[in-house]
Amino acid sequence: MRSIEQILAISAERKGGTEAVLGDLTPSLSSREMRAIPSDRWLAEMTRAIFQAGFNWKVVDRMWPGFEDAFSGFDPGWCAHIEDERFDALIGKKAIVRHGPKIQAVAQNASLIQSKSDFAAWVAEFNPDHFAKLLLALKSDGSRLGGTTGQYFLRSVGVDGWILSRDVSARLVAEGVVEKVTYSAKGLRTIQDAFSTWHAETGYSLKKISRTLATSTGRL
* pLDDT at residue 85 tops 90: no
The arrangement of secondary structure in 31-156, i.e. its CATH architecture, is: Orthogonal Bundle (1.10)
| pTM metric for this prediction | 0.95
pLDDT at 36: 98
Helices H / strands E in the chain, number of each: 14, 0
Q: How far apart are the first and last CA of the chain?
A: 23
Contact 178, 187 (CB under 8 A): yes
* pLDDT at residue 196 tops 60: yes
DSSP letter (8 states) at residue 160: -
3-state SS assignment for residue 179: coil
CA 134 distance to own-chain centroid: 10
Output the CA–CA distances (angstroms, integers) from residue 46 to 110, 151, 219, in the order listed.
10, 10, 30
Confidence band of 219 (pLDDT split at 50, 70, 90): low
Residues of the chain within CATH 1.10.340.30 domain(s) are 31-156
Query: What is the distance between the alpha carbons of residues 132 and 135, in angstroms, rounded to a whole number?
Result: 5
Confidence band of 83 (pLDDT split at 50, 70, 90): confident
Q: How many residues does the chain have?
A: 220
pLDDT digits (tens, 9 = 90+) for 39-67: 999 999 999 999 999 999 999 999 999 99
What is the b/e burial string over 176-207, where b = at least 16 CB atoms within 10 angstroms of the residue's CB? ebbeebebeeebbebbbebbbebbeeeebbbb
Residue type, 181: V
